Amino acid sequence: MEDANAIKQRIKAMMVENLMLQVTAEEIGDDQPLFGPGSLGLDSVDALQLVVALDKHFGLKIPDPAAAKEVLQSVDTIVAAIQSKGNVGSKELS
């Protein structure tokens, strides 16, 4: 299983690429909020793209908006969800 830091780097790189962010992966804080005040500034369209990308790259299924609100708070919360699924590294970042 990959360590949390490797997963964080993959998630950040995926976010920059898929969401066309105007920041680099290195500029995204592990515990930086993704939505709301003081956040990365993602919107609902970004959230949908992120859910699809997490399923594609990590096999992480996010079944409903309530689950998405829990998981998509920060890179740290996404990593925790991926690790709790136990299927990390099953799909390579393309």
pTM of the complete model:
0.86
Measured torsion, CA atoms of residues 25, 4, 31, 43, in degrees rounded to the nearest 10:
60
Options 3.30.230.10, 3.60.21.10, 1.10.1200.10, 3.90.245.10; CATH for 4-85 is 1.10.1200.10
Q: What is the pLDDT along the chain (94 residues), one digit of tens a residue?
A: 579 999 999 999 999 999 999 999 999 999 999 999 889 999 999 999 999 999 999 999 999 999 999 999 999 999 999 999 754 444 444 3
